Amino acid sequence: MTCQVTKRLGGYPCCHRQWRDEGHCSFLHGYDRWIELTWEGERDERGWVVDLGGLTDIKNWLDHMYDHTTLLADDDPYLATFEALAKANVVDLRVTDPTMEGMALTVAEFVNNWTTETHPNAKLIRVQCWENEKNSAVWTR
């Protein structure tokens, strides 16, 4: 019999900009991002699908990517300016897809690889990334 488990992680304050937007989202702005991860699988010898207390690698990676960072697309026309600001230690830059959809895909890829290596009894089936209480994006298997 399979079970599903979900872990909510968050409080990742970061900023980004959607440079292609013609409105206010083209300006640098930020949110306190949250992530919900759902796994499905058979219970292990402890009775767990995934050790929800043993997510240190995931938490460390999320901290690196999203805690007080600035997210920019690799084709942002001001990328070089932000890279110079990063060298001056003004921003902690991550060149990644700054959209919530992009975050959901990026998180899913990392956590899926981690799950395959650490919990062969489980599969990551859902990642939901929230940029605030109103907006989120979901990746599902």
Q: Model-level pTM?
A: 0.94
Q: Is the pLDDT of residue 1 over 90?
A: no
- For the chain, the domains span 2-140
- Asked if the 2-140 domain carries CATH number 3.30.479.10, the reply is yes
Q: What would the mean pLDDT of 93-118 be, rounded to a whole number? A: 97
Q: Is the pLDDT of residue 140 over 90?
A: yes
DSSP string across 30-79: EEEEEEEEEEEEE--TTS-SS-TT--HHHHHHHHHHHSS-EEE-TT-TTH
Distance, in Å, from the CA atom of 37 to the CA atom of 104, rounded to the nearest integer, reads 10
Grade residue 137 by pLDDT with cuts at 50, 70 and 90: very high
Q: What pLDDT digit, counting tens, does each position of 56-91 carry?
A: 999 999 999 999 999 999 999 999 999 999 999 999
Contact 85, 91 (CB under 8 A): yes
Grade residue 92 by pLDDT with cuts at 50, 70 and 90: very high
Q: What 3-state class would DSSP assign to 104?
A: helix
Distance, in Å, from the CA atom of 131 to the CA atom of 17, rounded to the nearest integer, reads 13
* Cα 85–chain centre separation: 23
